[in-house]
């Protein structure tokens, strides 16, 4: 039976809100100077902020396709990105955000009355081999640096298990894969908890919402970076380099927890440039920031009524 027009209109409104929330999360990530990562203030690693903004706009619509499987969303978003930029700008972001977007769609009008976290768990439990095949094609298209090879479920071979199972096999060496295995626990805690606390502090101090969001991204970034070795650094430069950056991040995390605006200290920019000079890019921590900002935005507003 056709969906009533009112229901269809509400779902279209919700899909557009989610699309805008994704683009805004990506924009905040680029506006926020994050040590070792590309930002509007500081290009690096052969890339500049404009590439990431173009990628966000390109990926947003396919990522938010109505009723699409997670794997479909991932593959379509990566293909759309590659049509406008010729480098890997957002594979990790897309891998993280596709289940979040799919979960929010389940919470839209007429769907189950679930929290975002509970809806994500339901989405992950439903992932199958078709999702894995589509995600593997997307990874092959994006060609992330330093991926290497593994004995089981290597991305250069056709998967024989569902996407969540394949991600669980990689969870010990990749923090993005771990989110699939552990129901996005890191995104919600410390991610959303840190983001919301930092954003609320900035708003109380009179900052506008976007400036508050930028400060929240920075605080969340150092929360992630100080908590565990960044898997993008570990994959490219080894565990020792990743642990070194983690140690460097810990004093910044303490300052962020106190509410200090990190950008106000020239040492923040100096650390950013130092990591770039050493070829160290905490890309996984940055990707987790985008997923966190998106989750915080969707959880805060809920669903369209």
The string of DSSP codes covering 68-100 is --HHHHHHHHHHHHHTT-SS-SSHHHHHHHHHH
Instruction: Note the pLDDT of residue 120.
Output: 97
- How far is the CA of 260 from the CAs of 240, 252, 265, 302, in angstroms? 29, 9, 9, 30
- The band of 146, judged by pLDDT with boundaries at 50, 70 and 90, is very low
Q: Give the mean model confidence (pLDDT) for residues 64-89.
A: 95
CATH number, domain of 52, equals: 1.10.4200.10
Instruction: Note the pLDDT of residue 3.
Output: 44
pLDDT digits (tens, 9 = 90+) for 229-271: 999 999 999 999 999 999 999 999 999 999 999 999 999 999 9
Q: Is the pLDDT of residue 116 over 90?
A: yes
Instruction: Note the pLDDT of residue 149.
Output: 47
Q: Is the pLDDT of residue 300 over 80?
A: no
Instruction: Note the pLDDT of residue 6.
Output: 46
- Any idea which of 106-115, 155-164, 187-196 has the lowest mean pLDDT? 106-115
Q: Is the pLDDT of residue 81 over 60?
A: yes
Q: Which residue has the higher pLDDT, 8 or 215?
A: 215
**CA 291: distance to chain centroid?**
3
pLDDT digits (tens, 9 = 90+) for 47-62: 999 999 999 999 999 9
In sequence order, what are the beta bridge partners of 47? Answer: 44
Look at the chain and count its residues.
Answer: 305
CA 104, CA 122: separation in Å to the nearest integer? 11
Q: Is the pLDDT of residue 112 over 60?
A: no
Structural domain including 204 reads: 5-301
- The band of 193, judged by pLDDT with boundaries at 50, 70 and 90, is very high
CA 9, CA 201: separation in Å to the nearest integer? 36
Q: Is the pLDDT of residue 10 over 90?
A: no
The string of DSSP codes covering 8-70 is HHHHHHHHHHHHHHHHHHHHHHHHS--TTS--SS--BTTB-HHHHHHHHHHHHHHHT-TT--H
Cβ-based neighbours of 210, under 8 Å, separated by 6 or more: 28, 31
The total number of structural domains in the chain stands at 1
CA 167, CA 289: separation in Å to the nearest integer? 19
Cis peptide bond upstream of 190, omega within 30: yes
Q: Give the mean model confidence (pLDDT) for residues 267-294.
A: 98
The token pair that represents 215 in the structure block = 């400060």
CB-CB contact of 231 with 175 (8 Å):
yes
Neighbour tally for 264: CB within 10 Å: 8
């Amino acid at each position: 039976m056709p969906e009533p027009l009112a229901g269809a209109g509400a779902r279209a409104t919700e899909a557009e809100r989610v699309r805008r929330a994704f683009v805004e999360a990506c924009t905040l990530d680029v506006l926020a100077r994050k040590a070792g990562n590309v930002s509007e203030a500081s290009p690096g690693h052969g890339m500049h902020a404009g590439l990431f903004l173009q990628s966000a706009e390109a990926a947003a619509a396919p990522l938010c396709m109505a009723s699409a499987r997670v794997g479909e969303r991932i593959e379509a978003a990566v293909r759309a990105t590659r049509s406008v930029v010729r480098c890997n700008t957002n594979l990790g972001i897309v891998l993280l955000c596709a289940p979040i977007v799919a979960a929010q769609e389940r919470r839209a009008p007429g769907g189950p009355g679930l929290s975002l976290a509970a809806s994500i768990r339901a989405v992950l439990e439903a992932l199958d081999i078709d999702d894995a095949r589509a995600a593997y094609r997307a990874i092959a298209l994006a060609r992330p640096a330093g991926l290497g090879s593994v004995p089981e479920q290597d991305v250069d071979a056709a998967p024989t298990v569902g996407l969540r199972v394949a991600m669980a096999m990689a969870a010990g060496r990749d923090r993005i894969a771990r989110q699939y295995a552990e129901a996005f626990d890191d995104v919600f805690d410390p991610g959303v908890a840190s983001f919301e606390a930092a954003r609320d502090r900035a708003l109380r101090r009179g900052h506008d919402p976007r400036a508050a969001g930028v400060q929240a991204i920075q605080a969340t970034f150092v929360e992630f970076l100080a908590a565990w070795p960044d898997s993008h650094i570990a994959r490219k430069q080894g565990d020792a380099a990743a642990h070194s950056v983690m140690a460097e991040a810990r004093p910044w995390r303490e300052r962020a927890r106190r509410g200090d605006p990190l950008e106000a200290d020239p040492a923040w920019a100096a650390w950013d440039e130092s990591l770039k000079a050493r070829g160290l890019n905490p890309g996984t921590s940055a990707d987790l920031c985008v997923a966190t900002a998106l989750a915080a935005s969707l959880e805060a507003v809920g669903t369209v009524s």
